Structure 1
């Protein structure tokens, strides 16, 4: 069973955005989530993105965990590979997190498409929608979205 990862971010700008939350769902289904305290140089903020994920910059400043702690936790919890569903964005935010922490990831980030055959790709969205309905959890929160990836992938294995 693979490990899945998801990020929420300050915006969708691939030049100035930064990760604000990261969640993982490990092979055994256990989930972990970290709000990320912004690096002093990270200024980008989108009100539109905030309205989607519901995380305020003030909350990050108050409750966020320092970048180094988050990066170290990811290295500790993720084995060799973590899979995501938005590789371009997630790889950018992963890089920004680790660069800000002055650390290197001990794992590789891959697209979930690397795990899927053509039948599974065709069934992905409808299966994902069914999982979201069954779980009745909000999307656009990192741990929830990582869990949804895990459950969707698991469902497609049958």
Structure 2
């Protein structure tokens, strides 16, 4: 069973003016990647409540983040021609667009809603399965690659349970 490639984005906040602060993905083999995003010059919105969730200060992003262009080039190289899934399609689509706009590039992959890949049985088991995975692995939430990995493990676990039920 091949799981989907899953991308997750942490952001400076929600609503108008928010932008990506970290982007991460997990590929079909379970390998994770993430990068902090150096804020573009016109990205000014900063929500202290969001910072409490993702534990990244604007200063650390300015000092240690990769540029939007570096990240966009990496994503295009690795995800070229693929369909990539997210559990927050609308918001992640907006943030990904902001990243690519700042980079002066276009994505070479398609971003889709993860729910499109789920069977009704997977949807029914999703919340409890995800909660169990979070508790058993004790991973820090609201980090892009960790959240993507949890989503992929949840997808795999619910897909396996769905397959067992079908047999």
Task: Specify if TM > 0.5.
Answer: yes
Matches of residues 116-135 of structure 1 in structure 2 within 5 Å? 116-135=118-137
| 1:8 paired residue among 7, 10, 13 | 10
Bigger Rg, which one: 2
How far 1:122 sits from its partner (Å)? 1.3
Whole-angstrom distance in 2 between the partners of 1:99 and 1:123: 37
**Runs of 4 or more off by more than 2 Å in structure 1?**
none
Aligned length: 157
Whole-angstrom distance in 2 between the partners of 1:111 and 1:91: 10
1:83-136 Cα distance to aligned partner (Å, 9 max, x none) = 000111100101110011010000000010110011111111111111111211
Secondary structure, counterpart of 2:59 in structure 1: helix
Equivalent in the alignment of 1:68: 69
Whole-angstrom distance in 1 between the partners of 2:153 and 2:77: 22
Alignment gaps of 5+ in structure 2: 161-167
With normalisation by structure 1, the TM-score equals 0.97
1:2-46 Cα distance to aligned partner (Å, 9 max, x none) = 100000000011x21000000000000000000000000000000
Whole-angstrom distance in 2 between the partners of 1:84 and 1:117: 16
Whole-angstrom distance in 1 between the partners of 2:74 and 2:136: 30
Moved more, 98-107 or 70-79: 70-79
Moved more, 68-77 or 21-30: 68-77
How far 1:77 sits from its partner (Å)? 1.8
1:48-83 Cα distance to aligned partner (Å, 9 max, x none) = 000111100000001000110100111122251110
RMSD: 0.8
With normalisation by structure 2, the TM-score equals 0.92
